[in-house]
Each structure stands twice: as structure tokens, then as C-alpha cells.
Amino acid sequence: MPYAQKSISKLCRALSRNLPSGGSDGTDLPSLKRLIKKPKNQKTMNIQELIEHLSEIAINSPKAEVRIATQPSWPFENSIKGLVVWNKKAWLDAEVELIRQSIEGSGEEPMSHKEMVDMANHNLNDEGSEHDVVYLEEGSQIGYLPEGPRGELGW
């Protein structure tokens, strides 16, 4: 068992001796040490997986703050300020606008909107940039990432 996990286990046991069942704030103490990570061969998490993980946590800790751990070599914790969904329509609209600006700036003959949309679709298919993505906006830096989460993340 990694050192950080042993430390968290000891902390949970110590706290559980001094608190009523489930913790004074209603959390399930053993779940505090649970780490949800993707297998090493999967580099992304989709929205359904994220919702499932957060829903499990929300059952016992509905008011848990969500933060972002960044920079493994110099770990920080940051708040989440907001989010933006970038879907196929957003990719397409942005690409059409880039094509329009490019044509205007070059003095080339104008294209119809349909021609620009067709070209944009072709460009996006070539780039593989047509899938939906949810971006979490980094808020403010809260501080250094505590040792416990750092250890559990393998940082």
C-alpha cells in the first residue's frame, strides 16, 4: 500500500473513532480516500463517466468542493471558474469564420456560405476536430496541492 494511502487510512480510522458514524458532516469517511482514475491506456474521460463518478461522490458528500489538480512537477490546486461546451456546431462556426476572414484578407473572390460550410466540414474531418468537448475553466490558484492527493495521483 502506498505511503499516502496508509496515511489516509490511518486518518480515516482516527477520525471515525472521534466522530459519529459517517462523520459529523454526513460524509462516509472511507470514501475520502477513494481515488477515481482512468486506466493508463485511456487518456480521456467522457462526460458520462465524469457524471457517474461525481454522482457517486455526491451521495455522501453533496457539498464537496470541486478543484483541479495541475502540474505534476510543481503541483497546484485550482478552483473551477466555469465551463464551456465546444460542439460540432461551434467547431463549424469557428472554422467558417476563419475561412471568411481569410478570403476577405486575401482579396480572393468571395465564396457562398454553403461553399464555406462545405470547406469547413472538410477541414474539420481532416483535422479530427469535430467531436464535442467540455472545457473546465481554471479559476484562481488556491495553493499547493496537499501531500495526500499528490501521493494518490502518483505525483
The string of pLDDT tens digits covering residues 4-62 is: 344 444 443 433 333 333 444 444 434 445 556 666 677 788 899 999 989 999 998 99
Task: Please enumerate, as own/partner, the contacts of 80-83 that have beta carbons within 8 Å and a separation of 24 or more.
Answer: 80/136, 80/137, 80/138, 80/139, 81/137, 81/138, 81/139, 81/140, 82/136, 82/137, 82/139, 83/134, 83/135, 83/136, 83/137
Given pLDDT bands bounded at 50, 70 and 90, which one contains residue 76? Answer: very high
**Pairwise CA distance, residues 119 & 99, whole Å:** 8
